[in-house]
């Protein structure tokens, strides 16, 4: 890790502002998945043990100004329960209310500020807002990997005013993704799927030349199949990406990188959970049907390739996994990865959601908590929230050695 972490600074007795990703799914004010809160516990517990005054901040949902449905109170309740310690709250994240709450903190206390996005200045990376937020603390810790790809006031703005380091979740995410992508144990395979090829072009580009094989499923397979002149019926195809699809297949061939496409498919009359469906070979898709999942022969083909791999990165579900009829391909791939003796890294919001919902997250080496951020990382692009943190000092050059 080239960035300083919370281990590298003295936090004892200090006011420490921690950007966490508490953007949890809510239903009628109830948290339906507390993974993100759990993932932030190591940093919070460490700071409590070191007797810091812990000031947590996060966004929640997409509010347009203050909204009672998107207050942080349920998150504070959940966090307090998980920590077995009280968590104070404030009715705002800046200004006199927040300042008073911070003044009341003793060493080891925890305060959760109100939803950052009640202020539009947060997403605008407004310098005055960032300064007001930074003025609450002596040190800044960014543990919100999930928002590291966005330059907002609480991820980049505050770093102009405070010494800024990474938290443990941020460190873990960066280390696993970096090792898998940039220093993989080979053979290294990439499984790619999801809705659209256009979302994944930079990822495919970055991985070409790094991976030893590509395995393609999901909606984007349709564009590749069409580029190879297979019938794809009513499947969503990105006509303007056909050229790219043909080109990347060609470039993979030049590099002798296997580029595995489905050999059979589950197709449906309509995109609905109750639609009529059947399994066909790739040259048998009727004009009025559409591709919904990969078929069992494709799963076997992929399994055969994955069996020899030592590192696998997976982004994009193999089918419309939200409908159980079309979740078999995604489930099968998740199970294969779970059983594989290899480094397995899952990135992307929907893919992580699928793996978690199938109860297989703990069987993977790493499931990224940051959908967009992990995708950006897989594109080989810098994350502004990470770039803004303090660099670890380069080791001194020793002369005469
Ligand atoms: P991630 O968030 O993991 O990066 P994407 O956002 O690219 O993944 O894609 C996820 C979506 O892709 C899911 O909602 C899933 O229903 C959809 N999808 C997968 N396969 C197909 C398909 N054959 N046709 C249409 N949509 C698909
Ligand atoms: Mg997605």
Residue 123: pLDDT over 50: yes
Is 219's C-beta closer than 6 angstroms to any atom of ligand 1? yes
| pLDDT band at residue 401 using 50, 70 and 90 as cut-offs | very low
Is 125's C-beta closer than 6 angstroms to any atom of ligand 1? no
| 398 vs 39, higher pLDDT | 39
Question: Which among 349, 370, 371, 385 is annotated as catalytic?
Answer: 349
Average pLDDT, the chain: 96
**Ligand minimally distant from the alpha carbon of residue 316:** 1
Q: Any catalytic annotation for residue 370?
A: no
Bridge partners for 192 per DSSP: 216, 315
Question: Per the structure block, which two tokens stand in for 289?
Answer: 């049907």
Phi (first) and psi of residue 170, to 5 degrees: -55, -45
Strand 343-347 with 366-367, pairing: parallel
Q: Any catalytic annotation for residue 200?
A: no
Fold match flag (6-171 vs 184-378): yes
Number of alpha helices (DSSP H) and beta strands (DSSP E) in the chain: 14, 17
pLDDT in tens, 324-353: 999 999 999 999 999 999 999 999 989 999
Q: Which atom of ligand 1 is nearest to the CA of 293?
A: 23
Q: How far is the CA of 5 from the centre of ligand 1 (A)?
A: 35
Is 234's C-beta closer than 6 angstroms to any atom of ligand 1? no
Instruction: Return the residue whose CA atom lies nearest to atom 4 of ligand 1.
Output: 348
Q: Any catalytic annotation for residue 77?
A: no
Q: Any catalytic annotation for residue 297?
A: no
Q: How far is the CA of 352 from the centre of ligand 2 (A)?
A: 10
| pLDDT band at residue 314 using 50, 70 and 90 as cut-offs | very high
Q: How far is the CA of 316 from the centre of ligand 2 (A)?
A: 8
Domain ranges within the chain, ordered by starting residue = 6-171, 184-378
Q: Which sign does the torsion angle of CA 314, 148, 173, 109 carry?
A: negative
The whole-angstrom separation of Cα 66 and Cα 57 is: 15
pLDDT in tens, 157-202: 999 999 999 999 999 999 999 999 999 999 999 999 999 899 899 9
Question: Per the structure block, which two tokens stand in for 97?
Answer: 């209310």
The whole-angstrom separation of Cα 26 and Cα 33 is: 8
Burial profile 277-301: b = 16 or more Cβ within 10 angstroms, e = fewer: bebbebeebeeebbbbbbbeebbeb
Is 354's C-beta closer than 6 angstroms to any atom of ligand 1? no
* Answer CATH for 6-171 from 3.65.10.10, 3.40.1260.20, 3.40.50.1260, 2.60.40.180: 3.40.50.1260
Is 217's C-beta closer than 6 angstroms to any atom of ligand 1? no
Q: How far is the CA of 254 from the centre of ligand 2 (A)?
A: 30
* Answer CATH for 184-378 from 3.40.50.720, 3.40.50.1260, 3.40.50.10170, 3.30.70.960: 3.40.50.1260
What pLDDT, on the 0 to 100 scale, is given for residue 397? 66
| Helix/strand/coil percent split, the chain, to 5 | 40, 15, 45
Is 201's C-beta closer than 6 angstroms to any atom of ligand 1? no
Is 213's C-beta closer than 6 angstroms to any atom of ligand 1? no
CB 136 within 8 A of CB 170: no
Q: Alpha-carbon dihedral of residues 190, 342, 148, 221, nearest 10 degrees?
A: 20
Question: Per the structure block, which two tokens stand in for 335?
Answer: 């199970």
Q: How far is the CA of 349 from the centre of ligand 2 (A)?
A: 5
Q: What is the mean pLDDT of residues 104-111?
A: 98
């Amino acid at each position: 890790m080239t960035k300083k972490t919370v281990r590298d600074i003295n936090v004892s007795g200090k006011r420490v502002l921690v950007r966490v990703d508490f953007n949890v799914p809510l239903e009628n004010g109830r948290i339906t998945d507390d993974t993100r809160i759990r993932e932030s516990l190591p940093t919070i517990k460490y700071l409590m043990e070191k007797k810091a005054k812990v000031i947590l901040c996060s966004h929640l949902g997409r509010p347009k100004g203050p909204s009672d449905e998107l207050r942080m109170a349920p998150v504070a309740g959940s966090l307090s329960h998980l920590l077995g310690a009280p968590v104070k709250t404030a009715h705002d994240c800046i200004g006199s209310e927040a300042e008073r709450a911070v003044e009341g903190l003793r060493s080891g206390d925890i305060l959760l500020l109100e939803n950052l996005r009640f202020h539009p200045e947060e997403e605008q990376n407004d310098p005055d807002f960032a300064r007001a937020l930074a003025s609450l603390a002596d040190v800044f810790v960014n543990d919100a990997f999930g928002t590291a790809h966005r330059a907002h006031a609480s991820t980049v703005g505050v770093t102009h005013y405070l010494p800024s380091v990474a938290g443990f979740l941020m460190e873990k995410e960066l280390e696993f993704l970096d090792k898998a992508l940039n220093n993989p144990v080979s053979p290294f395979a990439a499984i790619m799927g999801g809705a659209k090829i256009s979302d994944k072009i930079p990822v495919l580009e970055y991985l070409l030349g790094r991976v030893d094989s590509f395995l393609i499923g999901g909606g984007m397979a349709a564009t590749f199949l069409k580029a190879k002149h297979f019938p794809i019926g009513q499947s969503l195809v990105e006509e303007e990406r056909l050229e790219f699809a043909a080109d990347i297949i060609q470039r993979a061939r030049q590099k002798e990188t296997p580029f595995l496409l489905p050999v059979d498919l589950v197709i449906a009359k309509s995109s609905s959970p109750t639609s009529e469906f059947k399994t066909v070979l790739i040259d048998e898709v009727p004009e009025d049907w559409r591709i919904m999942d990969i078929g069992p022969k494709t799963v076997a083909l992929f399994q055969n390739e994955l069996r020899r791999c030592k590192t696998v990165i997976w982004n994009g579900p193999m089918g419309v996994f939200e409908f159980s009829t079309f979740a078999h391909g995604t489930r099968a791939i998740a199970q294969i990865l779970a059983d594989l003796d290899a480094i397995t890294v899952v990135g992307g919001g929907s893919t992580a959601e699928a793996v978690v919902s199938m109860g297989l997250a703990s069987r993977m080496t790493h499931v990224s908590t940051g959908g967009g951020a992990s995708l950006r990382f897989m594109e080989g692009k810098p994350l502004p929230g990470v770039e803004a943190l303090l660099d670890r000092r380069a080791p001194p050059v020793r002369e005469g050695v």
